[in-house]
Amino acid sequence: MLAYHLAKAGLDVVLLDKAKFPRGKTCGGGVNVRTQKLIPFDFSPVVEETITGISFTCRFEEPFIRHSPGPLMFTVRREHFDEFLARRAEEAGARFFDQTPFLSLEEKDDFGEVNTAAGLCSAAYVVGADGSQSAVARRTGLMQDPAYMLAVHSEAPTSMVPDWKPDLIHLDWGSVKRSYAYMFPRKYFLSLGAGGIDLPAARIKNYQRAFLATRAQKEGILSVSAAGFMIPLRKKRCPIEKGRCILIGDAAGLADPFSGEGIFSAVRSAQIAASVLQEAVKNRWDSLKPYQESIDREMMPELECSRLFRELFNLRPFHYHRKIASQDRWWNAMAKIMRGEKTFLDVKKKLGPVGSLLARMAR
């Protein structure tokens, strides 16, 4: 997305990726409407299903379904979605080299020298958009000591889950503290996963297995393999810029601390980076500090607030489960957050002094 925005603005952009495209990425593949609104072109050719409702359980019990009048989310296969974005960036004028890993970065007086597996590349500015295991972050000493969400993920053929619906996602929560499990429908496969904070990997793996057992036919379960992944979460004010280099997306730990969703933050941080970099090129800045200031101002308060709601939710999951089941305003707030019509900050503000008190308690 960043390459797309910068190339559209007429800048000379080189996009490097170590993988051969199209490449898979372990991900539920849920792109909510809030994210769709930020993407300046139609990506419906790679949408697999349109989600208009959520089926909920708490500790695998008390099921209910909530519907929304319009879409909440779209599901995609990341190999198709990411390929689609990379091609839009190329069409806008970016030069894309896949199978070209970033190796190291050396800061020169007025440019950065990037060492890649295919040779050296000099650039006025360098952006690490290289995900949760960012080599750019490692090489520049940025994003040290983040918190992590652990996610376990598997894919099952739709034939294995008898009652899946193409327009519904399923969430289970409250079963394991600070964790939830999801099932997202796609055309031929279902994404089934679980994610959680501060929990041993075995706990999340067992939870994901138990969740799978509640949804899938017994005969198939053993054939479904699961893999674990770490999603980094940036701590407040942790550096994500140094000299002529910045980090965006998962490399900067900007995923949502409640849900672990990171596509929105990747797209939003790319948008913020694009406007800062255009100014930087125009005015020949030798520092990208304004980028981190913008992220701290425009994204971190909402991410911090999401962390607060995660802590509150985990105190009494059954209570909130029942509120969403029985009170329209609770469900509407959740649906509006997914559609980008409301933020966690709006909800906290609405709570007034109670919201501030809760924020202090959650810390």
Which residues sit at the interface with ligand FAD, rule CB under 6 A?
16-19, 23, 25-30, 101-102, 129-131, 135, 151, 153, 193, 229, 231, 249-251, 255, 260-264, 266
Least distance from ligand FAD to the Cβ atom of residue 220, Å:
20
Least distance from ligand FAD to the Cβ atom of residue 31, Å:
6
Task: Return the structure tokens found at 23.
Answer: 């490449």
| Nearer of residues 231 and 359 to ligand FAD, judged by Cβ | 231
Least distance from ligand FAD to the Cβ atom of residue 231, Å:
5
| Nearer of residues 129 and 272 to ligand FAD, judged by Cβ | 129
| Nearer of residues 36 and 314 to ligand FAD, judged by Cβ | 36
Q: Measured at CB, which residue is nearest to ligand FAD?
A: 262
Least distance from ligand FAD to the Cβ atom of residue 76, Å:
9
3-state secondary structure of 341: coil
If one counts every other C-beta atom within 10 angstroms of the C-beta of residue 138, the result is 15
How far apart are the C-alpha atoms of 293 and 141, rounded to whole Å? 19
Least distance from ligand FAD to the Cβ atom of residue 250, Å:
4
| Nearer of residues 156 and 359 to ligand FAD, judged by Cβ | 156
DSSP string, 134-184: -HHHHHHT-S-S-EEEEEEEEEEEGGG-TT--TTEEEEEESSSTTEEEEEE
| Nearer of residues 241 and 250 to ligand FAD, judged by Cβ | 250
Half-sphere exposure of 131 (CA within 13 A, CB side): 13
CA-wise closest residue to 100 among 14, 189, 198, 9? 14
How far apart are the C-alpha atoms of 151 and 174, rounded to whole Å? 16
Tell me how far CA of residue 301 lies from CA of 38, 210, 254, 333, in angstroms: 19, 35, 12, 18
How far apart are the C-alpha atoms of 107 and 130, rounded to whole Å? 19
Task: Return the structure tokens found at 301.
Answer: 């308060």
| Nearer of residues 29 and 185 to ligand FAD, judged by Cβ | 29
Least distance from ligand FAD to the Cβ atom of residue 264, Å:
6
Least distance from ligand FAD to the Cβ atom of residue 311, Å:
20
| Nearer of residues 50 and 362 to ligand FAD, judged by Cβ | 50
**Backbone phi, then psi, for 359, in 5-degree steps?**
-60, -40
Least distance from ligand FAD to the Cβ atom of residue 263, Å:
3
Least distance from ligand FAD to the Cβ atom of residue 177, Å:
19
How far apart are the C-alpha atoms of 122 and 89, rounded to whole Å? 20
3-state secondary structure of 51: strand
CA 272 to chain centre: 16
| Nearer of residues 49 and 250 to ligand FAD, judged by Cβ | 250
| Nearer of residues 49 and 359 to ligand FAD, judged by Cβ | 49
How far apart are the C-alpha atoms of 212 and 193, rounded to whole Å? 8
